[in-house]
Chain A
Amino acid sequence: MAANTPNQNTNMAIIGKPLDRVDGHLKVTGIATFVAEFNQPNMAYAFPVRSTIAKGSITGFDLILAEKSGGVISILTHENAPRLQPFDPLEIKKTGGFLAENLIPLQDNKVHYFGQFIAVVLAETFEEARHAATLVKVSYAKEKADADLNEALLKSSVREGAQLNKGQASAIIETSNLKIEQTYTTPAQNHHPMEPHAAIAIWDGADKLTLYDSTQVIVGMRNITAYFFKLKPEDVRILCPYLGGGFGGKSPAAHNILAAMAGKKINRPVKLVITRQMMQTNVGRRSPTIQKVALACDLQGKLTVIRHQNSSYSNLTDFSEPVGIQTQVLYNAPVREITHQIAKLDMNAPTYMRAPGHAVGSFALESAIDEMAYELRMDPVQFRILNHASTDPVKKINFSSNHLLECFQIGVEKFGWASRKIQPRQTRNGQWLVGYGMATSVHHGVRRPATVRIQLSNDGMATVMTASQELGTGTYTILTQTAADALGIAVGKIKVLVGDSDLPPAPFAAGSSTTASVNPAVLAAGELLRCELMRIAIADPKSKLNGRNTKDISFADSKLYLSSDISISDSYKDIMRRNNRETMQASATATPGGAASGATVAPCGPSMDQDQNYDTHKYSFHSFGAHFVEVWVDEDLGTIRVKRVTTVQDIGRVMNEKTARSQVIGGVIFGIGAALMEETVFDNRWASPVTRTLADYHVPVNLDVPPIDVHFIGKPDPHISSIGSKGVGEVGIVGVSAAIANAVFNATGKRLRNLPFTPDKLFV
């Protein structure tokens, strides 16, 4: 292990290594315990009842049959459910929590969308609850529901997004000879993490609640639950040691509140796990989008205008798909116009889904860029290089780091892009037309405040604690690595605790922000502990380091030693035992854009580096990348197979080569799904999805996925944090569907502008 010196930046020796996941053993043996698996004594099972109309009101329930059904304990409806603190956006904002959908269940008789939870049956067993739920009879006063996006858009107004030289776009486009004006559409998509949303509510009296909850928002969920149930936040505990995927779809939502309400009502622990069908109707989705992109060029191929007009729907939330987001940072063009039009539909709230905005916005923008390049008969990589924005083109500030050109260069070489023909339909392999396509990926880099506490025991073990989250992203592993470097302690002696709202607060696990946010606090807390150990050792007459100067002392292998003579050392264990310290703790909060602050049990006053990082006024923070794909198209049958992918990612410092690669691969596969098959189809007569299950809402299976070759730039971002890691969880999906569309065009000469590219699309 490399030697580290306390008052200097920690060396990154373990950070970056392709460590196997520390929770791997638990996961391959089936012992890792997910939320629905924390069964409780005397626990009841809950099964929700959903509305079968999209809009209107409930005029009555007939519960006679359901209540008589075997094992039924109680049935909650709006008529008898506990009344919660009313939804008040300002008050909720104050708590720091939020709801994916601004609708508290069972508080009134209004129906806002098809499938809304309108009752919940509680029974002794799952089988009994599920059956009785089918016996609940509901009568409604039905109203006409808006379900058609195009129609609803007519009733909405256009909102201005980012603009450069406002008002000039139309005139330039009109007069330009080199231009593209096209409409692209993306369908509603659903997250479908493999673990269905689950909650187990355990009340201790009337004012203490423990909620095992499959949520990405540990602290926010605690705060909002406390708000609704009028509890003190410290009397609510949210627990989720493992999350079976989230992808943005596991925000605080109705089902977890329902479980808590139900538990309160019957004064028993209650388990509520939603069905896969409910994951199509009750936990948010990505809105469908209609996007009009216009580009114009001068004769040299320099973009003169980028116009991106997008529309989507929203309901029961302030959120709308931020579709123009990548169009604000990619490409130089003197005139830029981004507009949003949000229609209201009588459907459940749209929400964050892996790379909100970017994932679908880049489909349109990066397809249009490819179309423009083809108009110019220019190689699309060359076209992108020609129009590359080396500084943020809208904010007019520097990027914190931007190695996109290097991504292109490496991708071109590793993929073998040079053999691509500009003219389509040039390569055939038996029944297959072969095409190459590429696209840029980008995702903003986000950092939020986070607090980490580390406890060192005199048996040599260290425990890292923070209310962050493991949703498969590798949090346990990466925090372990960072702590190993911060403390000079072997990985095997570090234990990480996350997924518990009683731990020091951390941001919600979304927006590719966890690594950038939490790990700096680990470093800071580790440094505080080291300093404290050093202070004790220097003051301890029995220590070999007694009386030494802090600047002469280094640390590694769980000990402090003299930098000039490694044999003069004192182990953490010995220091603590001699000084009667069973445990030592340090807690640090890393706040972006400001100084890190913290306090040990007995502060030794180290000179903490001023963390002036993540100043969003000074720098524009983004991960970048480029995807190169080869597709084979069977034109007769309309089938498209992605045969290989090369992806080059500039994500700053790579925290763990193994898990980062997996995240990128996962993002690319999400993109393949979006490109080729994923679509939530609604029957507008009911405003209900006809793709009710995983047999109808197709996500990629193993055979759909080719080898994916991942390359990292690996250069730390100097401005996001002392570690220099930008986000990796979402950038991988961005641009994939465009790269595939571009490859399909290269293969067939057919331009597909409407996701997904199912076989029928090639027959239009």
Chain B
Amino acid sequence: MKEGNENLRLTEAEKDLFNQVMPEDLAEIVTGGIQRRHFLKLLTVTGGALLAFQLFDNHEVFAQSLITNSTVGIENGVKVAFMVNGQKKQIEVDSRMTLLDTLRERLGLTGSKKGCDQGQCGACTVIVEGRRVLSCLTLAATCEGKSVTTIEGLANGLELHAMQAAFIKHDSFQCGYCTSGQICSAVALMTEVKNGEASYVTPDIRLPGHSLRLSDDEIRERMSGNICRCGAYPNINNAIKEVYSGKDVPQTWQFSS
């Protein structure tokens, strides 16, 4: 990859990579060539060399292309402009289209998952205006002017969000399908706790919010809207505990000998 404005023809595999990880820049790259900032962003988005290796090398398997379905002929089209992970998005959607399907099918942001499509699993959890919500029960049309953060927007450049790093360390997932929702939920949970918001298991609801202590049961209850069928809950809770307390939470298993 070269710097400057020199036109550089991307291979199909490279195009696919950009398609997948930074679709918003694809057109620019294809027409204007790749620039240093694109590469830096690629590293940022993908989290570094290991990933770039995985993606580049694995050609078709990772070749996920972005489809922006034509909106021609869509009944009840709604134009909506909103921010996703700090970037402005302007699209026209079918009024029936959920935020989840918009992210996954139109914006190439497939990190948010569809588990049940009816608010019963939490896999689609994203953060809208600072709060965790279910993108499967949010119409894209209602997002006008709003700010949406998805799993793809949590890391700060090469640096993973503390919750993402803790999830890796504590093996807080197996198949990884509920993980985006779990992490978005856990990140928002930190804010809720800071704000002193109560839960059903809060011992004394009448006490002011600042007295809140995030006990194990508080974590469990507050994370109960995110189902994990592989059964990573204890590991998820340890990751949350570690991020909340700022202290190492030991990982334990033992051998007989």
Residues of chain A contacted by B254 (CB below 8 angstroms): 414, 710-712
Are A711 and B255 closer than 8 Å at their CB atoms? yes
Contact of A29 among B67, B120, B164, B221 (CB under 8 A): B164
Whether A33 lies near B64 (C-beta < 8 A) is yes
Question: How distant is B87 from chain A, measured CB to nearest CB, in Å?
Answer: 15
Bound together, the chains give a CA A707 to CA B73 distance in angstroms of: 54
CB of A694 closer than 8 Å to a CB of B:
yes
Tell me, in angstroms, the Cα distance from A25 to B164 when the chains sit together. Answer: 8
Instruction: Flag if A37 contacts B110 (CB, 8 Å).
Output: yes
Given contacts A194-B227, A195-B115, A406-B256, contact A242 B234 (CB under 8 A): no
For B92, the chain A residues whose CB sits under 8 A away are none
Q: Specify the chain B residue showing the minimal Cβ separation from A40.
A: B65
Q: Are A25 and B168 in contact (CB under 8 A)?
A: yes
Please, what's the 1-or-0 string for B150-178, where 1 marks a CB less than 8 Å from any CB in chain A?
11101100001000110111010111111
How close is A26's CB to chain B, nearest CB, in angstroms?
A: 7
Q: Given B114, B123, B174, B220, which contacts A702 in the complex, CB threshold below 8 Å?
A: B220
A229 beta carbon closer than 8 Å to chain B: no
Per-position 1/0 for B45-83, Cβ under 8 A of A: 011001101100110111111110100011100000000
Inter-subunit contact B69/A125 (CB<8 Å):
yes
Stretch at the interface among B28-36, B96-104, B127-135, B190-198: B96-104
- Say whether B176 contacts A244, CB under 8 Å: yes
Our pick among A41, A473, A648, A661 for the contact of B65 (Cβ within 8 Å) is A41
Residues in B lying within 8 Å of A, measured CB to CB: 20-21, 46-47, 50-51, 53-54, 57-58, 60-67, 69, 73-75, 94, 96-97, 101, 104-105, 109-118, 120-121, 123, 150-152, 154-155, 160, 164-165, 167-169, 171, 173-180, 183, 201, 217, 219-221, 223-237, 251-257
Majority-rule SS of A interface residues: loop
Nearest-neighbour CB distance to chain B for A92, whole angstroms, equals: 28
Asked if A33 contacts B110 (CB within 8 A), the reply is yes
Asked if A471 is at the interface (CB within 8 A of a chain B CB), the reply is: yes
Instruction: Judge whether B176 and A27 touch: CB under 8 Å.
Output: yes
Other A-B pairs beyond A194-B230, A242-B176, A702-B233, 6, CB < 8 Å: A23-B176, A29-B160, A472-B177, A495-B54, A495-B58, A703-B224
Which residue in A194, A667, A713 is a CB contact (below 8 Å) of B228? Answer: A194
Q: How far is the CA of A471 from the CA of B177 in the complex (A)?
A: 10
A695 within 8 A of B: yes
Do the beta carbons of A239 and B61 come within 8 Å of each other?
A: yes
Q: Please report the C-alpha to C-alpha distance between residue A127 and residue B77 in the assembled complex, in whole angstroms.
A: 12
> In the bound complex, do residue B174 and residue A245 qualify as a contact, i.e. CB atoms below 8 Å apart?
yes
The reply to whether the CB of A666 lies closer than 8 angstroms to some CB of chain B is: yes
Q: Which of B117, B151, B235, B253 contacts A712 (CB 8 A)?
A: B253
Name the one of A125, A657, A659, A695 contacting B94, with C-beta atoms under 8 angstroms.
Answer: A125
Which residues does chain B contribute within 8 Å of A461, judged by CB atoms? 53
Q: How far is the CA of A244 from the CA of B51 in the complex (A)?
A: 20
Q: Are A658 and B101 in contact (CB under 8 A)?
A: no
Chain A residues in 8 Å Cβ range of B251: 18, 658
Which of A29, A196, A403, A669 contacts B111 (CB under 8 A)?
A29
What's the minimum C-beta distance from B126 to chain A, rounded to whole angstroms?
A: 10
Q: How far is the CB of B214 from chain A (nearest CB, A)?
A: 13
Interface residues of A, count at CB 8 A: 94
Given contacts A30-B151, A244-B113, A665-B234, contact A276 B118 (CB under 8 A): yes
Within 8 A of B (CB), among A658-699: 658-663, 665-670, 693-695, 699
- In the bound complex, residues from chain A placing their C-beta under 8 Å from that of B255 are 654, 711-714
From A194, A276, A694, residue with most partner B Cβ within 10 Å = A194
Contact check, A495 vs B53: say whether CB atoms are below 8 A apart: yes
Distance between Cα atoms of A34 and B110 in the complex (Å): 9
Residue of B nearest to A18 (CB): B251
7 nearest A-B residue pairs (beta carbon): A30-B111, A472-B175, A244-B177, A472-B174, A669-B231, A666-B231, A27-B176
Q: Are B69 and A124 in contact (CB under 8 A)?
A: yes
Instruction: Please indicate the chain A residues that have their CB under 8 angstroms from the CB of B160 in the complex.
Output: 25, 28-29
- Cβ-defined partner of B46 (8 Å) among A31, A242, A661, A670: A31
Q: What CA separation (Å) do A60 and B257 show in the bound complex?
A: 68
Given A126-B105, A193-B175, A495-B53, verify A709-B228 contact (CB < 8 Å). Answer: no
Query: Is A424 part of the contact surface with B, judged by Cβ < 8 Å?
Result: no
Closest to A192 in B: B229
A637 CA to B255 CA in the complex, in Å?
39
Chain A residues near B237 (CB-CB < 8 A): 702
Q: List 30 A-B contacts (CB under 8 A).
A: A20-B169, A28-B183, A30-B179, A30-B180, A33-B20, A34-B177, A43-B67, A124-B69, A125-B74, A125-B97, A192-B229, A193-B177, A193-B229, A194-B113, A194-B178, A244-B177, A245-B230, A273-B114, A276-B117, A472-B174, A497-B61, A499-B61, A665-B234, A666-B231, A694-B116, A702-B226, A702-B233, A703-B217, A709-B252, A710-B253
Which one of B50, B101, B177, B257 lies within 8 Å of A492 (CB-CB)? B50
Contact (Cβ within 8 A) A38 B168: no
Q: Which residues from B are CB-within-8-Å of A242?
A: 175-176
Write out the residue numbers on chain A whose beta carbons fall within 8 Å of the beta carbon of B69: 124-125
Chain B, Cβ-Cβ closest to A662: B171
